[in-house]
Amino acid sequence: MIKVLHVVGARPNFMKVAPVMRALAAHPGRFLQRLVHTGQHYEEAMSQVFFDELEIAPPDENLEVGSGSHAGQTAQIMIRFEPVLKGFAPDWVMVVGDVNSTMACTLVAAKLGVRVAHVEAGLRSFDRTMPEEINRLVTDALADLLLTPSSDADENLRREGISPDRIRQVGNVMIDTLCRNLEKARARLVHRRLGVEPRRFIYVTLHRPSNVDGRESLSAIVDCLRDMAKGLPVVFPVHPRTRQRLVDFGLLGALESQPGMKLIVPVGYLDSIGLADQASCVLTDSGGLQEETTFLQVPCLTLRPNTERPITISQGSNRLTTLGTLRADLEAAIRRRESREQLPCPPLWDGRSAERIADVLLER
């Protein structure tokens, strides 16, 4: 019996852990699994939607860490995770993604001599001003098993001196979750409920501090979205952080009053997939949508100077954009959607990545 302790901390982790837990459960009597939710995400109600939609059982432990500075949050996770780890005494700690919980629990496990498997290992933005990049580097340096989504991630790890016998390319578990839930998401017809036509709207998600915390940058984004909404509806689920900045800078009224702008509350996973699938194009600064739109073959613009998922650019529908080129890039993305340009998906993005993870653990 292989004992596996899974760790989630924020909503992006849920889509990654769900297929892995399901794949391990498909081997009766071989795995004993426990799920720890660190409670890193500050709005538990939003987290619960993802648990429900992805059919994840309630966590066995909720550390209820909450928000805080990076140092304070990381320290609290480590302090609260250590007794849980000692109590369960797993063979493997399974961490996913690149949030503070990923790094913090990896540190605790490594110091206690417990093996760590990192799902989505090897991604690099090469920008150490991003907290997530620090989390990736530390986690991958300490993890015993690096489960990568693509060949570029393998290359990054080898360049950093990671032994090849610690690296296994398994594919993208986010795509496992997408494949399982796509038809369910489509059946919800969220675009129809919002009163927009399929392939005739822009879907926007923005929350990164570099985009929303500065008055100048957020004003430029608002101006662009208002202009675009004159031609195509813009569906914008407003993250709590972004909404607060819109209020702080006196920009919310200008967006709300613009015909064609549909500001809505944050949506769950299924509605997000449904919107991305039916959009003319997607504008985002998150990581997951870059991958999901690549699989869906929907043009995506990532409002960042870099991406830790370059394969979504070289082999997908993703493009980086800046405030200076945003409007022109949006117009070009809409034209690409209208041309129905088809691009192959990266290798192993086939909905079976979690099965390969189970096989690797059984081999070891």
Instruction: Return d(Cα 265, Cα 49) in angstroms, integer.
Output: 13
Q: What is the pLDDT of residue 57?
A: 85
* Active site members: 207
Phi and psi torsions of 202, nearest 5°: -105, 130
Give the torsion sign (CA, 94, 107, 123, 146): negative
In Å, what is the CA distance from 228 to each residue of 64, 212, 317, 333? 41, 18, 20, 12
**What domains, with CATH codes, occur in the chain?**
2-172+349-363 (3.40.50.2000), 181-339 (3.40.50.2000)
Amino acid in position 147: L
Interaxial angle between packed helices 44-53 and 11-25, expressed in degrees from 0 to 180 and rounded to the nearest 10? 30
Instruction: Return d(Cα 145, Cα 151) in angstroms, integer.
Output: 16
Instruction: Return d(Cα 300, Cα 311) in angstroms, integer.
Output: 13
Dmax (CA) of the chain: 60
Q: What is the pLDDT of residue 353?
A: 98
In Å, what is the CA distance from 210 to each residue of 132, 192, 206, 284? 14, 32, 10, 13
Q: Which parts of the chain have pLDDT scores under 50?
A: none
Q: What are 105-136's pLDDT values in tens digits?
A: 999 999 999 999 999 999 999 999 999 999 99
Q: What is the pLDDT of residue 10?
A: 86
In Å, what is the CA distance from 250 to each residue of 113, 247, 322? 52, 5, 23
Q: What are 246-300's pLDDT values in tens digits?
A: 999 999 999 999 999 999 999 989 999 999 999 999 999 998 999 999 999 999 9
Contact indicator for 299, 321 with CB cutoff of 8 Å:
no
Q: What is the pLDDT of residue 45?
A: 53
Q: Which residue has the tokens 């608002």?
A: 222
State if pTM tops 0.75.
yes
Q: What is the pLDDT of residue 67?
A: 83
Residue 103's CB is within 10 A of a number of other CB atoms, namely: 27
Phi and psi torsions of 52, nearest 5°: -65, -50
Helices (H), the chain: 11-25, 44-53, 70-88, 100-111, 131-142, 151-159, 173-187, 190-193, 209-212, 215-229, 240-248, 252-256, 269-278, 288-296, 311-314, 326-339, 353-363
Q: What is the pLDDT of residue 46?
A: 57
Instruction: Return d(Cα 71, Cα 110) in angstroms, integer.
Output: 19
Q: What is the pLDDT of residue 178?
A: 97
